[in-house]
Copies of this chain bind each other. A is one copy, B any other.
Amino acid sequence: MGLASDITNRDARAVSRLLSWIEDNDPRAPAELKEIYRHSGNSYLLGITGPPGAGKSTLADRLISHYRAANLRVGVLAFDPSSPFSGGAVLGDRIRMQQHATDSGVFIRSMANRNWPGGIGRAAVECARVLDAFGCAFIIVETVGVGQGDVDVARLAYTTLLVVTPAAGDKIQAMKAGVIEAADIVVLNKADLPDAEHAAKSLEMILGIHPRGGWQVPLVRAVAREGEGTGDVADAIDRHRRFIKQSGALEEKKQEGLRNHLLDIVHRKCDEALRLRMTSDKELDSYAERLFRGAADPYSLAEEIIRKEIKI
């Protein structure tokens, strides 16, 4: 075999190449992923989410150092579904992490593609599998905190950290539903700022009323830039990991992930078949023609096409 066996033999360049294939929806990817699949399933998936500027990348950087000190391999997938107007600001922030770039036990990939076929979720699950087969004990999946991606990532990760700052403390109640609910651990970063304790109090109050199946979401204070609190964050991750292992939630989450991935692949394959049939088919032109002439509405035509052409 090609890339897949190179990856299990810990060839970082092969990892790079396969991640690009996933990103580009390259037709060569599925065969490699099939192979990858048999050699994966052992990594622990950590999600890091939170608003821009909260210090997610800095915290990820600290966690990498923490796990590397225990000689564990770490992978990072940093998704950036950012504004077309924001330029490279966010990616620039992540340069900090690149201090680990020469460490062969760390693999970091920043993914700025805004047009994930099928959303971030699909790409993340496949890329994580690749890093898994590469031997990573922990895979950190980070999003920039914009939109659906965060929810997708939280669904994928076994433990999700929500990173906030004291400045965001008051706003946290305004955060849309799903953001707090998706967090297993809340990290109050920049906890050395003057209004940190006030923010912590209101956060703890909010978290107190959001217990989830026996797990009380902890609030952990950190100053990631100074490296303070990294141990506490890692401890909270460990505790959550043990909790979901014992409660069976981890197994459930893994099974749900597998089932969703299967449905997703089926879906994508049908999609491709459908697109192919609709675009190669000259029939479509005659339908479109009727539409242009105003002889039919697209809803009735769609029904006709499905009945006559697709027969699903």
Contact = CB atoms under 8 A, between A and B. Distances in A.
Interface string A279-312: 0000010011001101001111111011000101
Counted per complex, copies of this chain come to 2
Given A82-B147, A88-B174, A297-B37, A306 B266 contact: yes
A41 B271 CA distance: 29
A11 B294 CA distance: 25
Nearest to A302: B265
A83 interface: yes
A270 B310 contact: yes
Contacts of A273: 306, 312
B84 A179 contact: yes
Given A288-B258, A306-B270, A312-B273, A175 B84 contact: yes
12 contacts: A50-B85, A52-B85, A83-B146, A84-B151, A85-B168, A85-B171, A146-B147, A255-B288, A259-B291, A262-B288, A263-B284, A270-B274
A181 to B, nearest CB: 11
Contact of A299 (B37, B51, B84, B305): B37
Interface string A153-177: 0000000000000001001001110
A193 to B, nearest CB: 18
A148 B84 CA distance: 8
Nearest to A258: B291
Contact of A265 (B86, B145, B299): B299
A60 B13 CA distance: 49
A167 to B, nearest CB: 12
Contact of A178 (B34, B38, B84): B84
